[in-house]
């Protein structure tokens, strides 16, 4: 009995540092986000840097998210068609795939993939600059590193996310058509008419709003972890890993809240 009590106390003591570290991260990230919101509206505006990050991050993420969207659409149609066919509702398959992708699957899948690709990259890049004192050198030379390094990357992620999500939605719908065409003789015109008739304005707004919020999460978490990195190369690796984990968890958690809000508003 005494051993069991000691084990429980040890487990509690082991969880306490994790809880403290978690709340420290949340507080630091909140302050970092408030600082971004205060800096993004004030000049000077680094449009050239934002454009460069859009090209760099977008071109490297597009192949991965595009292939993933196509395959997910293909699999979704292949897995769902037998069930709908059993109930004589296979004609509703294009509408089901379209609503699922536009409202939920497209934004979330794109955000999780970009979080793994972009957020970790931002964390590693800014972390390397921090531990090699490049950020300190920028401050000494009179350049605001936060505005130049953080604001531009977060803005690029916010702008980039809706564009990548739209591509994923399109390729996912095309992938579902390929699966349907293999199993049946449905024409592209009939498929596309079913898709467009099933989508309403209430389906598009939540998807677009989600992408903007997810883009902000990806950019701000990666920038925060890299900007606050310490401890040499080990700290850079830790920043990159934490950026992926934290941004992915926040995306899923925020998506859960947004789904509830969407259902409450539009039903």
pLDDT band at 267 (very low <50, low <70, confident <90, very high): low
Q: Is residue 185 classed as helix, strand or coil in its secondary structure?
A: coil
Structural tokens at position 166 = 């739209």
The Cα 40–Cα 149 span in angstroms is 12
Average pLDDT over residues 149-155: 92
pLDDT band at 223 (very low <50, low <70, confident <90, very high): very high
Structural tokens at position 190 = 């009939």
Please list the alpha-helical segments (H only) found in 40-149.
47-86, 93-100, 106-114, 120-131, 134-140, 145
225 and 242 in contact (C-beta within 8 Å)? yes
The Cα 168–Cα 65 span in angstroms is 6
122 and 223 in contact (C-beta within 8 Å)? yes
State pTM to two decimals: 0.87
- Residue 231 DSSP one-character state: S
Instruction: List the Cα angle 169/248/216 in 5-degree steps.
Output: 70
Tens-digit pLDDT profile for residues 20-53: 777 777 788 889 989 898 888 877 778 888 889 8
The Cα 152–Cα 159 span in angstroms is 11
Confidence check: pLDDT of 6 > 70: no
Burial of 227 (0-12, 13-18, 19+ CB in 10 A): buried
């Amino acid at each position: 009995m005494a051993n069991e009590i000691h084990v429980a106390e040890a487990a509690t003591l082991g969880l306490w540092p994790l809880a403290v570290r978690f709340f420290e991260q949340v507080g630091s990230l909140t302050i970092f986000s408030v600082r971004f919101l205060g800096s993004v509206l004030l000049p000077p505006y680094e449009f050239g840097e934002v454009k460069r990050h859009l090209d760099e991050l977008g071109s490297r993420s597009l192949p991965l998210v595009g292939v993933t969207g196509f395959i997910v659409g293909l699999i979704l149609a292949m897995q769902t068609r037998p069930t709908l066919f059993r109930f004589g509702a296979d004609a509703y398959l294009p509408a089901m795939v379209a609503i699922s992708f536009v409202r939920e699957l497209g934004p979330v899948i794109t955000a999780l993939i970009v979080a793994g690709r972009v957020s970790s990259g931002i964390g590693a890049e800014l972390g390397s600059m921090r531990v090699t004192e490049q950020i300190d050198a920028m401050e000494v030379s009179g350049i605001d590193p936060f505005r130049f390094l953080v604001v531009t990357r977060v803005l690029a992620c916010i702008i980039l996310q809706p564009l990548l999500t739209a591509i994923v939605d399109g390729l996912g719908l095309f992938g579902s058509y390929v699966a349907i065409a293999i199993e049946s003789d449905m024409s592209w015109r009939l498929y596309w008419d079913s898709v467009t008739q099933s989508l309403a304005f209430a389906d598009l707004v939540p998807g677009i709003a989600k992408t903007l919020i997810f883009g902000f999460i990806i950019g701000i978490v990666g920038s925060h972890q890299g900007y606050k990195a310490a401890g040499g190369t080990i700290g850079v690796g830790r920043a990159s890993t934490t950026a992926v984990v934290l941004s992915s968890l926040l995306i899923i958690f925020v998506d859960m809240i947004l789904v509830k809000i969407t259902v409450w508003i539009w039903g």
